[in-house]
Chains A and B, each alone.
Chain A
Amino acid sequence: MAHKRPDGRKSDELRKMSAKVGVVPNADGSAMFAFGDTIAIAAVYGPRLLHPQHMQDPSTGILRCNYDLLSFSVSDRKKPGPNRRAQEISKVTEWALLPVLELKEFPNTVIDVQIYIIQADAGTRTAGINAASLALAHAGIPMKDLVCSVAVGKQDKELVVDLSKEEEDFEEGEGATDFPIAKIANKDAYTLVQMDGKMSPDLMAEALALASKACEKVYEVQKKALKDEVEREAKE
């Protein structure tokens, strides 16, 4: 009965991941993260003094995320500039990252995280969060841990991880459900939870277990990217 995925992956198998740290030399920290054909880059600027001054918070630093698709990253050209979807994803990305950051150490400052999708094939927000988490670590911002993100999906009745665009458009049976989550790497703590589709409430625990296992794999890729960069810098 097992549902066959279009690219032949097993239900708990992610697309081929790749990650690289240090992709934007001007930034204080930067990274690329890809799930198959979805490619996200993120750059961190800061902590730096927030302007205008009246927006500064003397009790803490502020995190400001900006996510957007490049106009040519999708089949039908996207009008440049953030639409409401992008504004919402920017905001949920902030909330996904905030729990691991120690912003109180940087009063009156802002940390800007710029996330852009170069090529979109579903899972852009999760790839963006993975890239942003790496970029923050690369920038040397104090973090409790990395944040790892992946979407669990449902194809008709079967749970699968990391849906491609083709899978997201699946329409048979109960159709496709997209359940993107982010979690703190070594902790039972979910920092992004969204869903569109159909899922029975009793499936929640199972879906989270699948997501959590997939996040461990994302974590390994993230760690390796950071390690590679440190080794590269050491050689120079």
Chain B
Amino acid sequence: MAMEISSLTKERLKAMFAEGKRFDGRKLDELRDIEIETDISNKAEGSARVRLGKTEVIVGVKLGPGEPYADSPGKGNIMVSAELLPIASPRFQAGPPDFNGIELPRLVDRAIRESKMIDLDKLCIKEGEKVWTVFIDIYPINDDGNLIDAANIAALVALKIAKVPEMTKEGKVDHHKEAKDKLPLSKDIVPVSFSFFKLGNSIIVDPTREEAEACEARITFGLSKSKDKYLINSCQKKGEAYFTGEELARMSSMLPGLYDQVNEKLKKFL
């Protein structure tokens, strides 16, 4: 994690976390309020804005016809990208993506892809020739930490409301016809991600930017639930510190509870 906060702040946070306290008064395992808005951009097939405290991310889903990959001639494609625009943080710079700009869309991609939420077989237009590519484009608008989990929720909601555009006879997207069909999604698979951050021996969830920058390691889990069973679909550790086996088992056991909290907020969009 980039050390862009002072050592003084880091030491203070470490001491507070050890006592189970945070600057904003939350408990270590307490999420910030989640606000979700949909249809924030009408040219997108589906779009959503998610706020986690002061963090704001918008996601738009677009569909475009394209060629299938050679190893999956009868399946549509998923392409997730993110631009960390300088609008969202003094720490973001224009130009080619740095590692954070590469990792964010990859983590969202894996959480969604591995959950099998999108039925890629149904996105085939003509086997071996033409399939739909689902573009999931992520734009942080204000970075106050935990962009990954915010982006994941926004992507999920945007997908849930996305519609498949109509095509012209020539096989191009018809922008004049109203889209009717929903994106082929498995109804009961709802992938959400949870990132845990470690400083000293303390583990917190949903950090502010300041907290995240003080932390020495992060681990992000992509989680879904189907038929009342929770499944970890993806996970990735980041940072110079390590996690003990006990910590990994403890975080895993916290996942169902966190999932249910977020799912409660998501219900009306699913």
Interface residues, chain A, CB within 8 Å of chain B?
76, 84, 87-88, 91-92, 95, 98-99, 179, 183-184, 188-202, 204-205, 208-209, 212
Pair B243/A193 contact, Cβ less than 8 Å: yes
Chain B, residue nearest A191 (CB): B242
Jot down 5 A-B pairs with beta carbons below 8 A, ordered by A.
A92-B236, A189-B244, A193-B248, A199-B231, A201-B230
A99-B240 CB under 8 A given contacts A91-B103, A201-B256, A205-B245: yes
B219 interface residue (CB < 8 Å to A):
yes
B interface residues, tally (CB under 8 Å)? 36
B22 interface residue (CB < 8 Å to A):
no
B106 interface residue (CB < 8 Å to A):
yes
CB < 8 Å neighbour of A190 from B233, B234, B236, B237: B237
Chain A, residue nearest B255 (CB): A201
Pair B114/A193 contact, Cβ less than 8 Å: no
Chain B, residue nearest A195 (CB): B235
A91: min CB distance to chain B, Å = 6
B64 interface residue (CB < 8 Å to A):
no
Report the bound CA distance from A48 to B231 in whole Å: 45
Neighbouring A residues of B243 by C-beta, 8 Å: 189-190, 193
Q: Which of B236, B242, B244, B246 is packed against the most chain A CB atoms within 10 Å?
A: B242
Pair B232/A198 contact, Cβ less than 8 Å: yes
Pair A95/B246 contact, Cβ less than 8 Å: no
A87-B99 CB under 8 A given contacts A76-B70, A202-B252: yes
A51: min CB distance to chain B, Å = 20
CB < 8 Å neighbour of A98 from B114, B236, B240, B248: B240
Neighbouring B residues of A189 by C-beta, 8 Å: 242-244
A95-B252 CB under 8 A given contacts A198-B232, A199-B231: no
Neighbouring A residues of B242 by C-beta, 8 Å: 99, 183-184, 189-191
Interface residues, chain B, CB within 8 Å of chain A?
70-71, 99, 102-103, 106, 110, 114, 217, 219, 221, 223, 229-246, 248-249, 252-253, 255-256
Pair A95/B239 contact, Cβ less than 8 Å: yes
Neighbouring A residues of B241 by C-beta, 8 Å: 99
A190-B255 CB under 8 A given contacts A87-B102, A95-B238: no
Neighbouring A residues of B102 by C-beta, 8 Å: 84, 87-88
Report the bound CA distance from A84 to B106 in whole Å: 9
Pair B248/A190 contact, Cβ less than 8 Å: yes
Report the bound CA distance from A198 to B113 in whole Å: 11
A174: min CB distance to chain B, Å = 9
Top-8 shortest CB links A-B: A204-B252, A195-B235, A201-B252, A193-B237, A189-B242, A205-B249, A98-B240, A198-B231
Neighbouring A residues of B221 by C-beta, 8 Å: 195
Pair A200/B229 contact, Cβ less than 8 Å: yes
Neighbouring A residues of B240 by C-beta, 8 Å: 95, 98-99
Chain A, residue nearest B251 (CB): A204
Pair A190/B244 contact, Cβ less than 8 Å: yes
A208-B232 CB under 8 A given contacts A99-B241, A99-B242: no
A88-B106 CB under 8 A given contacts A190-B237, A197-B114, A201-B232: yes
Pair B114/A198 contact, Cβ less than 8 Å: yes
Report the bound CA distance from A76 to B233 in whole Å: 27
Chain A, residue nearest B106 (CB): A88
Pair A204/B248 contact, Cβ less than 8 Å: yes
Neighbouring B residues of A194 by C-beta, 8 Å: 234-237
Report the bound CA distance from A20 to B249 in whole Å: 35
Report the bound CA distance from A196 to B221 in whole Å: 10
Neighbouring B residues of A209 by C-beta, 8 Å: 245
Neighbouring B residues of A208 by C-beta, 8 Å: 245, 248-249
Neighbouring A residues of B234 by C-beta, 8 Å: 194-197
Chain A, residue nearest B253 (CB): A201
